């Protein structure tokens, strides 16, 4: 056995890849030239070695093994160029685990740059398991894909063995994959080095020109048949016309230029399947900007013709997910090689985002600001973004306009994150009773030396009030509601690049100052407070014959065990102050709800009519004519309950004997839709609308508890779980 050497990517690129392309099989045999090309990163505190004693086939496998002080994760990684065609790429491989706790093991597959990523999801390994084959799959997207990156990962403690990894395209070996077939849009590289567009101190006329350009560009993108075919690189078509239209000196000149552009795309054929928006649509397409006399009659008529003869069926830039209906955005390049895009590319990002929300966001009608006003108001912000940080902040502010906790900015140069600092104090803080309070220690063994106690109220950080810091940061923390925003701000508010930060605190009404040493994240057990203890059972019996279930580490096999263990309980507490580790609305919901208990319905976009969202029929849970469990059920939620956690709480709430206890949840539900923005940025939105059966909303509102209970500073000091105490009290008051 020997440790696999971490390799520099440049070395990998210089080596011949013919063996990879022909075989695409990785068995970790000592004589396999691919074996030495694997590389890793992570915290560097794991052993990665060939193992001659444990293997699936051949003579060796590769083993990733934690050490006693391993805290984070260790991946094993390989990379090949995506110089082949096909529609889907598959990874299959064999994996075996031993005593994995506090984390998981998984295969993963990624297509760069920012094309796609997947891992084993709910099938990630924990504990001990024998050799099992796993398969992953991604849409290949030739023309977008530049590199295929894949491998295995171990987080937490334990061991995992990996062997016999195979890559295929559409079920065939890579050497049988078809060549890349590029569309006309993919062949257009005219503006790869820059848009060539600049503007300084734009006039009112120029801003109005750009706003209309952005609207027309986005409308054509999602409606015109020629664009749907992939005949145009629509990003670059924008740059071909941006200069002339932006600097048009009059509305009439601008409108004529736009009309000429549309006509250049070719004649439109009648669309026999294009139907009017049904009256029952929850959201209807918003075309007032070209139907209310704001532009020339000729241009308005042309846009109306495009709508009446709009594309149907397959589209180069958009599709909907099978069996779900959330939008899937395709062929949206991230331009990651330009972390600070020029003015044209920055405006492209603004136009791309604004139009995605305009046509494909199910909650556009409940944003604080009228979405129609946002495009114009953000034009100067994006034009005047003078560096990478200003550009990232502009995107954060724009994304914050949709009030969706699913939405944020990832990737790029991470300049905003860098301003927060690389170091952390050894304590976790959260907002309790509207104060920033010490609620936990990342490393309990450091408690005696930190100088802070649970329940301490932090009022100042480096002589700046917490309230002032929160006020400054609010625009850069997108969130559905204030509970989620406060949660996210608290997570980062104590970060710094300093070795020591000065805190002013209040403890038992006494004001004092404390100098706190700072640490890099990997020097702390940073994720301890929410790590899933996979070896610990997800359910247990509390005193008084009360069952307790946490969804943080529940498994697919647990519901059947829970039914037997809790059949005669006085009551059951289900803790969803976490993100469920397995999908439980039906598996566990049928235990507490009778057959056909409706709990949710969805709105999804009409693919043939961008901007129209249609409400579906209610979805139901429950198994028998009456619930298997007849006792009281209490569900615990708070601001940590988000997305799948909120959906699960909705299913449990529908049961007749359920009480929700806690505080408003994060208010972001529905399958997410991801897309890229220029500068290598990534973001996402809630892609379907989620409502109660009576049509009541959940987005921004969250899951409103039946009994509101929030932690108190005194409770934090005493180490109490006040929500759990309230849940026990509710159950114990039930008459027997």
**CATH number of the CATH domain containing 456:** 2.30.42.10
Same domain, 425 and 328: no
- Contact yes or no for 283/612 (Cβ under 8 A): yes
In a domain, 628, yes or no: no
- Read off the pLDDT band of 23 (50, 70, 90): very low
Q: Return the exposure string of 503-541: e unless at least 16 CB atoms fall within 10 Å of the residue's CB, then b.
A: bbbbeeeeeeebebebbebeebbbbeeebbebbeebbee
Mean of pLDDT values over 674-688: 95
The kind and range of the H/E element at 150 are strand 147-155
Residue 166 has pLDDT above 90, yes or no: yes
- Alpha carbon distances (Å) from 704 to 213, 579, 635, 659: 42, 17, 12, 11
353's CB contacts (< 8 A; 6+ apart) are 395, 398, 399, 677, 683
DSSP symbols for 299-343: HHHHHHHHHHT---S--SSEEE-TTT--EEE-S----TT-SS--H
Percent of the chain with pLDDT over 90: 77
Query: How high is the pLDDT of residue 175?
Result: 86
Statement: residue 669 has pLDDT above 60: yes
Say if residue 32 is in the same domain as residue 91: yes
Q: Please, what is the average pLDDT of the chain?
A: 91
Tens digit of each residue's pLDDT (9 = 90 or more) over 435-466: 999 999 998 889 989 999 999 999 999 999 99
β-sheet bridge partners, residue 394? none
Domain finish residue from 504, 529, 554? 529
pLDDT at 367: 95
Same domain flag for 166 and 304: no
Instruction: Judge if 268 and 225 occupy the same domain.
Output: yes
pLDDT tens sequence across 65-115: 998 877 678 999 998 998 889 989 999 999 999 999 878 999 999 998 778
SS3 392: helix
Any idea of the CA torsion for 443, 125, 643, 319, to the nearest 10 degrees?
Answer: 140
pLDDT for position 42: 63
437: helix, coil or strand? Answer: strand
Of 511, 505, 515, 513, the closest CA to residue 429 belongs to 505
In this structure, the answer to whether residues 171 and 209 fall within a common structural domain is no
- Asked whether residue 681 carries a pLDDT value surpassing 60, the answer given is yes
Residues 673 and 119: their CA atoms lie apart, in Å, by 17
pLDDT digits (tens, 9 = 90+) for 26-41: 888 887 878 878 887 7
285 with 326, same domain?
yes
Contacts of range 365-371, beta carbons closer than 8 Å, 24 or more positions apart: 365/283, 366/403, 366/697, 366/699, 366/700, 367/401, 367/402, 367/403, 368/401, 368/403, 369/401, 371/401
639 CB-near residues (< 8 Å, 6+ apart): 483, 484, 486, 487, 663, 664, 665, 666
Q: Supply the range of the domain harboring residue 24.
A: 9-176
Rounded to an integer, the average pLDDT of 490-494 is 97
Same domain, 247 and 372: yes
pLDDT, one tens digit per residue, over 620-663 is: 999 888 888 999 999 999 999 999 999 999 999 999 999 999 99
Q: Are residues 238 and 365 in the same domain?
A: yes
Closest CA to 381 of 366, 367, 361, 398: 398
Q: Are 91 and 156 part of one and the same domain?
A: yes
Quick one: pLDDT at residue 529?
61
Query: Is 182 contained in some domain?
Result: no
Closest CA to 578 of 698, 452, 662, 700: 662
Strands 632-637 and 571-575: parallel
Do the domain assignments include residue 604?
no
pLDDT (0 to 100) of residue 20: 40
* Bridge partner list, 81: 147
What CA–CA distance (Å, rounded) separates 35 from 26? 7
pLDDT band at 260 (very low <50, low <70, confident <90, very high): very high
Q: Which of 589, 590, 542, 607 is nearest to 569 (CA)?
A: 542
Strands 658-662 and 632-637: parallel
Residue 12: pLDDT over 70: no
Instruction: Indicate left, alpha or beta for 351 from its phi (over 0: left) and psi (-120 to 50: alpha).
Output: alpha
- Phi/psi of residue 373, nearest 5 degrees: -90, -15
| 542 is a domain residue | no
* Whether residues 243 and 279 fall in one domain: yes
Residues 217 and 346 in one domain: yes
State the pLDDT at residue 359.
98
CA dist., res. 680 & res. 410, Å (int)? 9
- The pLDDT value recorded for residue 71 is 67
Answer whether residue 517 shows pLDDT above 90: yes
In a domain, 585, yes or no: no
Helices first, then strands: H and E counts in the chain:
21, 33
- Please check whether residue 465 lies inside any domain of the structure: yes
Q: Pick from 496, 529, 562: which residue ends a domain?
A: 529
Residue 362 CB contacts under 8 Å (≥ 6 apart), including other chains = 283, 603, 604, 605, 613, 670, 686, 687, 688, 689, 699
Within a domain: residue 606? no
pLDDT at 13: 31
Beta-strand ranges (E) seen in 37-124 are 46-51, 61-66, 73-81, 88-112, 116-119
Question: Could you tell me the CATH number of the domain that includes residue 69?
Answer: 2.60.120.260
Q: How many domains does the chain have?
A: 3
- Distance set, CA 328 to CA 317, 676, 700 (Å): 8, 12, 23
Is 340 found in the same domain as 276? yes
In a domain, 445, yes or no: yes
What's the average model confidence in pLDDT over 334-347? 95
Cα gap 721→452, rounded to integer Å: 20
Whole-number pLDDT of residue 3:
36
- Among the listed residues 592, 635, 614, 593, the one whose alpha carbon sits nearest the alpha carbon of residue 691: 614
Domain final position from 470, 505, 529 = 529
Pairing mode, if any, of strands 571-575 and 546-550?
parallel
């Amino acid at each position: 056995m020997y440790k696999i050497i971490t390799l520099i990517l440049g070395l990998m690129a210089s080596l011949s890849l013919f063996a990879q392309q022909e075989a695409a099989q990785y068995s970790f045999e000592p004589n396999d030239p691919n074996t030495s090309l694997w590389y890793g990163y992570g915290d560097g505190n794991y052993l990665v070695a060939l193992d001659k004693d444990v293997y699936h086939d051949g003579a060796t496998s590769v083993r990733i093994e934690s050490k006693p002080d391993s805290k984070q994760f260790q991946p094993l990684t390989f990379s090949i160029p995506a110089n082949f065609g096909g529609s889907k790429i598959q990874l299959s491989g064999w994996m075996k685990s031993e005593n994995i706790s506090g984390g998981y093991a998984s295969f993963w597959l990624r297509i760069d740059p920012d094309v796609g990523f997947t891992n084993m999801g709910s099938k990630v390994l924990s504990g001990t398991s024998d050799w099992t084959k796993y398969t992953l799959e991604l849409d290949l997207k030739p023309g977008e894909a530049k590199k295929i990156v894949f491998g295995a990962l171990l987080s937490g403690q334990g061991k995992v063995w990996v062997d016999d990894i195979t890559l295929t395209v559409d079920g065939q070996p890579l050497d049988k994959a078809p060549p890349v077939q590029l569309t006309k849009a993919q062949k257009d590289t005219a503006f790869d080095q820059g848009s060539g567009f600049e503007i300084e101190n734009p006039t009112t006329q120029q801003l109005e020109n750009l706003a209309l350009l952005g609207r027309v560009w986005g409308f054509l993108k999602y409606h015109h048949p020629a664009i749907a075919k992939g005949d145009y690189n629509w990003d670059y078509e924008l740059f071909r016309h941006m200069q002339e239209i932006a600097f048009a000196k009059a509305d009439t000149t601008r409108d004529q230029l736009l009309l000429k552009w549309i006509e250049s795309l070719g004649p439109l054929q009648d669309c026999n399947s294009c139907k009017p928006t049904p009256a029952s649509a929850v959201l209807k397409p918003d075309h007032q900007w070209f139907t209310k006399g704001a532009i020339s009659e000729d241009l308005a008529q042309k846009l109306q013709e495009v709508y009446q003869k709009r594309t149907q069926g397959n589209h180069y830039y958009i599709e909907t997910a099978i069996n779900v209906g959330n939008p899937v955005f395709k062929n949206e390049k991230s331009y990651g090689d330009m972390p600070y895009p020029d003015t044209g590319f920055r405006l492209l990002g603004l136009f791309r985002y604004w139009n995605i929300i305009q046509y494909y966001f199910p909650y556009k009608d409940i944003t604080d600001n009228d979405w129609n006003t946002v495009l114009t108001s953000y034009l100067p912000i994006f034009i005047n973004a003078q560096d990478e940080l200003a550009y990232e902040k502009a995107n954060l502010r724009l994304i914050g306009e949709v009030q969706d906790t699913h939405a944020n900015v990832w990737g790029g140069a991470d300049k905003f994150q860098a301003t927060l600092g690389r170091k952390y104090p050894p304590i976790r803080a959260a907002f309790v009773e509207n104060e920033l309070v010490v609620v936990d220690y990342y490393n309990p063994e450091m408690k005696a030396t930190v100088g802070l106690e649970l329940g301490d109220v932090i009022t100042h950080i480096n002589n700046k009030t917490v309230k002032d810091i929160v006020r400054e940061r609010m625009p850069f923390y997108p969130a559905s509601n204030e509970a989620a925003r406060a949660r996210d701000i608290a997570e980062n508010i104590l970060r710094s690049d300093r070795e020591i930060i000065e805190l002013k605190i209040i403890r038992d009404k006494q004001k004092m100052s404390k100098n706190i040493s700072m640490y890099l994240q990997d020097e702390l057990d940073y994720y301890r407070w929410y790590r899933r203890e996979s070896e610990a059972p997800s359910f247990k019996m509390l005193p008084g014959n009360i069952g307790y279930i946490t969804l943080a580490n529940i498994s697919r096999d647990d519901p059947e065990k829970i039914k037997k263990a809790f059949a005669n309980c006085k009551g059951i507490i289900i803790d969803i102050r976490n993100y469920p580790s397995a999908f439980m609305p039906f598996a566990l919901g049928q235990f507490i709800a009778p057959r056909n208990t409706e709990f949710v319905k969805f709105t999804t976009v009409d693919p043939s009519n961008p901007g129209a969202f249609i409400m579906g029929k209610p979805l139901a849970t429950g198994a028998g004519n009456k619930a298997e469990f007849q006792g009281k059920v209490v569900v615990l939620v708070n601001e940590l309950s988000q997305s799948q956690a909120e959906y699960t709480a909705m299913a449990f709430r529908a049961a007749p004997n359920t009480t929700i206890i806690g505080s408003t949840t994060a208010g972001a539900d529905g399958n997410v839709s991801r897309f890229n923005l220029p500068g290598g940025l990534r973001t996402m939105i809630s892609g379907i609308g989620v409502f109660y059966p009576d049509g009541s909303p959940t987005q921004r509102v969250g899951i409103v508890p039946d009994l509101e209970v929030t932690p108190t500073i005194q409770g934090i000091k005493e180490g109490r779980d006040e929500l759990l105490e309230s849940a026990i009290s509710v159950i114990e008051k039930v008459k027997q």
